[in-house]
Homo-oligomer: A and B are copies of this chain.
Amino acid sequence: MKKILLLGAGRSAASLIKYLLDQAPAENWQVTIGDISIAHLQPVVAPLAFARAIVFDVHDPAQRAREVADADLVISLLPAVFHIEVAQECLQQGRHLITASYVTPAFLALHQQAQERNLTILMEAGLDPGLDHMSAMAVIRRVKEAGGVLSSFKSYTGGLVAPESDNNPWHYKFTWNPRNVVLAGQGTAKYIKNGTYKYIPYHQLFRRTDGFYVDGYGYFEGYANRDSLSYREPYDLLGIPTMLRGTLRRPGYCQAWDVFVQLGLTDDSYTLDNSETMTYRSFVEAFLPPATEAGQSIAARISLYLGIPVDGEVMQKLAWLGLFEEKPVGLAGATPAQVLEKILKEKWALSPGDKDMIVMQHQFIYNLNGEQRQISSSLVVTGEDEVQTAMAKTVGLPVGILAKRLLQGKIAQRGIVIPIYPELYEPVLEELKGFGIDFVEKEMVPSEHLGVPG
Quick one: given A203-B262, A269-B188, A289-B208, are A274 and B452 in contact (CB under 8 Å)? no
Alpha-carbon gap, A364 to B54, bound state (A): 65
Contact of A188 among B264, B282, B289, B290 (CB under 8 A): B264
Asked if A274 contacts B197 (CB within 8 A), the reply is yes
Asked if B262 contacts A452 (CB within 8 A), the reply is no
Interface mask (A283-308 → B, CB under 8 Å = 1, otherwise 0): 00111011010000000000000000
Chain B residue nearest in CB terms to A200 = B264
Alpha-carbon gap, A304 to B351, bound state (A): 42
A196 interface contact, C-beta 8 A: yes
A273 interface contact, C-beta 8 A: yes
Contact of A264 among B204, B290, B453 (CB under 8 A): B204
Alpha-carbon gap, A200 to B272, bound state (A): 12
Copies of this protein chain in the complex: 2
Q: Which residues of B contact A203 (CB under 8 A)?
A: 201, 203, 262
Interface size on A, residues (CB 8 A): 35
Alpha-carbon gap, A200 to B264, bound state (A): 7
CB-based closest 9 A-B pairs: A201-B264, A203-B203, A197-B273, A289-B454, A197-B286, A199-B286, A199-B287, A193-B290, A290-B454
Q: Considering residues A194, A198, A454, which has the most beta carbons from chain B within 10 angstroms of its beta carbon? A: A198
Q: Which residues of B contact A289 (CB under 8 A)?
A: 208, 452, 454
A159 interface contact, C-beta 8 A: no
Shortest distance in angstroms between A246's beta carbon and chain B's nearest beta carbon?
A: 14
A404 interface contact, C-beta 8 A: no
A234 interface contact, C-beta 8 A: no
Known: A194-B290, A197-B273. 13 other contacts (CB 8 A): A188-B269, A193-B290, A199-B267, A199-B272, A199-B286, A199-B336, A201-B203, A201-B264, A201-B287, A203-B203, A229-B273, A290-B452, A292-B452
Alpha-carbon gap, A10 to B204, bound state (A): 39
Shortest distance in angstroms between A151's beta carbon and chain B's nearest beta carbon?
A: 14
Q: Which residues of B contact A272 (CB under 8 A)?
A: 197, 199
Q: Which residues of B contact A336 (CB under 8 A)?
A: 199
Alpha-carbon gap, A203 to B265, bound state (A): 12
